């Protein structure tokens, strides 16, 4: 009887085991981030680890992710993990715990940086990116602040608007008048404003030559120092890179692999009054190792989106 009680107690302890992850954006998709702790895995049979891991949140959403194994450890399959991360808008140093309940089913708890637990479904990263893109486009187009969002008609059929009752009676709708008035004010305001440097410049300059300062392409020959961080030429950074620190997604030239790499913008030291050189920092050394990149290689970085670049690497000619 005592033996049975001991067995039941061990089984219950195994059931409630847990592990945690700190979800940093620059390392979100790496195998290390997706790995299951070694001591945690030892409590499960090979049969249990040959299936899928089911993660269930407090608000009812769930994700089933396939488990994979390399010679060193078990880890969560990449596409399933990335969907879990996107659906929950993760990557801002959240603290997530995964508590085993039964049959490889895990209860999920997520805490923000301030320690507050997330108790309802967060907005996905795809929604946040879409919202951010709309705001950026509105800023670039100079939409006038006097025009309310509800008064602006955005439609693929705007060139052929459907007449309202007021228009069909020979008049013009109130909303249409507001839209035309707001559009005219926005155009006049945009013309009189002094041209500002955009957050990014994705397209190529019509007068661009081979200089990286006038092109959205940056070419750099790799030295030993550039294997740990990649310095960005200041003329290029002033025109094409953001004024604030930002995480970029850098794609392999065949688009089959990508890395999250933190860009550090130029910053002047208040004591020495010396301006720091901009560079790709956290995540770059892992990229260089996995691409791989070696001393003497020529790297060409090209903007493909506001915060995404394509990296092509060529070897030195013999």
Q: What domains are there in the chain, each with its CATH number?
A: 2-125 (2.40.330.10), 141-154+169-196 (no CATH), 212-314 (2.40.330.10)
| pLDDT (0 to 100) of residue 99 | 93
Q: What is the pLDDT of residues 167-211, one digit of tens each?
A: 444 445 555 655 565 556 556 655 554 444 444 433 333 333 333
Q: How confident is the model at residue 76 (pLDDT cuts 50, 70, 90)?
A: very high
- Burial (Cβ within 10 Å: 0-12, 13-18, ≥19) of residue 279: buried
| Block residue for tokens 């508590």 | 99
Torsional class of 301: left (φ above 0), alpha (ψ -120 to 50), beta (otherwise):
beta
Find, among 235, 205, 206, 230, the residue nearest to 309 by Cα.
230
Residue 250 is predicted with a pLDDT of: 94
For residue 268, list its beta bridge partners.
Answer: 275
**d(C-alpha 265, C-alpha 243), whole Å:** 6
Mean pLDDT on 51-72: 90
Query: pLDDT tens digits for 135-157?
Result: 555 554 554 444 444 443 433 33
Least confident window among 40-44, 125-129, 143-147, 280-284: 143-147
Which pLDDT does position 47 carry in this prediction? Answer: 84
Using an 8 Å Cβ cutoff, are 265 and 245 in contact? yes
Q: Which residues pair with 20 in a beta bridge?
A: 97
Per-residue pLDDT reduced to its tens digit, 10-22: 555 555 788 899 9
- State the Cα–Cα distance between residues 21 and 124, nearest whole angstrom: 19
Does pLDDT of 304 surpass 60? yes
- Poorest-pLDDT segment among 118-127, 178-187, 219-228, 234-243: 178-187
**What whole-number distance in Å separates Cα of residue 101 and Cα of residue 103?**
7
Residue reference for tokens 């008609």? 153
Express as a percent the part of the chain with pLDDT over 90.
Answer: 32
Over the range 207-217, which residues count as b (16 or more CB within 10 Å of their CB) and which as e? eeeeebbbbbb
């Amino acid at each position: 009887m005592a033996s049975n009680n001991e067995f039941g107690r061990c089984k219950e302890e195994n059931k409630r085991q847990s592990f945690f992850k700190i979800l940093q954006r620059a390392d979100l998709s790496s195998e290390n981030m997706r790995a299951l702790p070694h001591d945690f895995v030892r409590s499960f049979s090979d049969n249990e680890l040959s299936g899928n891991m089911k993660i269930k949140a407090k608000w009812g959403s769930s994700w089933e992710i396939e488990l994979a194994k390399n010679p060193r450890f078990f880890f969560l399959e990449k596409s399933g993990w990335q969907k879990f991360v996107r659906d929950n808008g993760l990557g801002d140093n959240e603290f997530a715990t995964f508590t085993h309940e039964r049959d490889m089913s895990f209860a999920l708890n997520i805490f923000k940086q301030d320690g507050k637990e997330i108790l309802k479904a967060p907005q996905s990263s795809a929604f946040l990116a879409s919202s951010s893109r709309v705001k950026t486009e509105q800023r670039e187009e100079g939409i006038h602040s006097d025009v309310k969002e509800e008064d602006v008609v955005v439609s693929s059929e705007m060139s052929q608007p459907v007449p309202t009752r007021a228009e069909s009676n020979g008049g013009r709708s109130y909303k249409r008048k507001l839209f035309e008035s707001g559009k005219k004010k926005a155009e006049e305001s945009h013309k009189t404003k002094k041209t500002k440097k955009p957050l990014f410049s994705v397209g190529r300059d019509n007068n661009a030559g081979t200089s990286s300062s006038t092109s959205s392409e940056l070419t750099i020959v790799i030295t030993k120092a550039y294997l740990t961080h990649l310095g960005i030429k200041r003329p290029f950074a002033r025109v094409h890179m953001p004024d604030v620190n930002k995480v970029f997604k850098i794609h392999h030239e065949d688009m089959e692999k990508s890395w999250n790499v933190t860009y550090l913008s130029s910053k002047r030291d208040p004591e020495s009054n010396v301006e720091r050189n901009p560079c790709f920092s956290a995540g770059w050394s892992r990229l260089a190792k996995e691409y791989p990149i070696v001393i003497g290689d020529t790297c060409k970085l090209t903007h493909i989106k506001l915060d995404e670049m394509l990296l092509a690497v060529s070897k030195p000619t013999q």
